[in-house]
Chains A and B, each alone.
Chain A
Amino acid sequence: MRRIFPFVALLLLAGLADSAEILIKLGPAGTTDNNAWRRFCPVAVKPDGWAWGTAEKYPNFAVIRITDMTVAQLEAYNEPDIDNVTKIQRAIRKWKIDIDDVALPAEIKNTITSGGIPSVTKAQVINFIKRFIP
């Protein structure tokens, strides 16, 4: 038993280290300007268990915990869309996370709309992470 415990602890720590949370802008659909903050824009990525601010919550924001992605991996979805050649920003974000997609599992959506933080795997949400400019 004593031998197993360190392995279990290590696995738990490894699991925690691979988790990250992403803050997503919600609110009304509003503008169609690609360089303005819009619904579904990722806004910040933080480690699992982050103490979000009092305004960083539903209905203005959603938080999703991705259990099998690190902060560094998730940061790739939180970048502006900058033209490689001209270096001009084409859109405030390269990706959006579409939580209005009808295929999003109801339990994930219900958790968000009730102010909770759903814990999901990358596979569960990857289809709802879409290019900001299609």
Chain B
Amino acid sequence: MKRVFFLILLLLYAVESFGANKTVTVKTSGGDYTSLNAALAGESTNLVTNTRILTIECYSMTDTVSAATGTGYTSNASYYIDIVAPEGERHSGIWDNTKYNLTVAASRCLYTQVNDIRIRYLQLKNNTYGGRPLSINQATGGGDIIVDSLITKGDEANSFSAIGNGIVRNCLVEYTFGGITIANGSGLNGFDYYFINNTVIYRGTDKSGDGATGFWGYQSLSNYNTYAYNNYSGGGMRDYYGNYAAKTNNASADNTGELTFVPFTTDNFINTTFGTEDLNLQSGSVLVNAGIDTGAYLDIAGKTRPSGSSFDIGAFEYDGSTPAGRHRLRRIIN
């Protein structure tokens, strides 16, 4: 009897250790961890051997510890890290100090060096000159990156030193030097990166040099492809720069988009004042119904796309009830 009991215990331990996805929480109190960084440092790193999706749920708090995955994680398309603010804990597309925000003064808010990772519904703010909110460096080649519905504020760009596939969608980005930039990290080829429905805003005053670039694409002759669809980029020295395999239905305040000279003003957005911005689309904006179907059927606030006759440009879908307070009220009622 004792032997059977022992074997059952061993089996239960094995099931817990291998073959089960794992969810851990980051909370100010009562959670597994009190910072995202500790969660990334504390968990088992071989997700493939453990056949495990590691979900790190970030609950409402201000996290002040710069976070990094390190290079130790082994992942693939099935077993990856998913860093997410869970439903009910997410921002509404407007910066919200009461929701999870990673606010630091460091070289990076979040630095990932794992091949396969999803980062969703977080708010990242870097208060350092030259600091990046998000830096993604795929470690060894291959892999899939999904960055969805982030709000990022910082000086340097959210950078993707990419040697795999990636999707960056529904993100609000405020920058002074770079918005979203991509570079081929190792010369490996055959990968695709998609920038879809992002709103990228320049917030600085000095556009000199190579700075103040909203999107910086990368395109090699060896089938390393960057695609950009339905994005808005406004106010930079160059709203779009670099090379793209395909680039359509993007709007810019300068002449680098396909929909050109769309100003970052309240003609197009609800509130453009730094600090209290609401980048929901304004009624009558030229960005409404100006996009194409890219397969992104939810916007940053969880509203369904498309709402009108076609998809909108930028992170928000206009549904005729623009003021964000009304969206929040509707969600509360629901």
Contact = CB atoms under 8 A, between A and B. Distances in A.
Interface centre among B28, B34, B106 (most CB of A within 10 A): B34
Interface in A56-96: 56, 60-61, 78-80, 82, 87, 89, 92
A31 B72 contact: yes
Interface stretch (A1-9, A37-45, A110-118): A37-45
A103 B74 CA distance: 36
Given A52-B34, A80-B107, A82-B107, A61 B42 contact: yes
Contacts of B111: 80, 89
B274 to A, nearest CB: 27
B38 A61 contact: yes
Range, interface on chain A: 20 to 34
A45 B66 CA distance: 11
Nearest to B36: A44
Given A35-B113, A36-B72, A53 B41 contact: no
Nearest to B27: A53
Given A33-B72, A35-B113, A80-B107, A43 B34 contact: no
Interface string B90-113: 000000000000000011000101
Range, interface on chain B: 20 to 34
A87 B107 CA distance: 9
A82 B38 CA distance: 20
Contacts of B41: 25, 37, 41, 43
Contacts of A45: 65
Contact of B24 (A36, A55, A82): A55
B38 A92 contact: no
Interface in A88-126: 89, 92
A23 interface: yes
Interface centre among B27, B34, B41, B107 (most CB of A within 10 A): B41
B126 to A, nearest CB: 14
Nearest to A30: B72
Contact of A36 (B29, B38, B39, B70): B70
B29 A51 contact: yes
Contacts of B26: 53
B33 interface: yes
B267 interface: no
Contacts of A54: 31-32
B71 interface: yes
Given A44-B35, A52-B34, A56-B34, A80 B42 contact: no
B37 interface: yes
Contacts of B40: 37
A41 B68 CA distance: 12
Interface string A11-52: 000000000000101000011010111000101111000111
A3 to B, nearest CB: 39
Contacts of A37: 40-41, 45, 70, 72
B42 A25 contact: yes
Closest 7 CB pairs of A and B: A36-B72, A55-B32, A35-B71, A53-B33, A37-B41, A36-B70, A37-B70
30 contacts: A23-B38, A25-B41, A35-B71, A35-B113, A36-B45, A36-B72, A37-B45, A37-B72, A43-B42, A43-B65, A44-B34, A44-B35, A44-B37, A44-B38, A46-B34, A50-B34, A51-B28, A52-B34, A53-B31, A54-B31, A55-B33, A55-B38, A55-B39, A55-B42, A56-B42, A61-B42, A80-B68, A80-B107, A82-B107, A92-B68
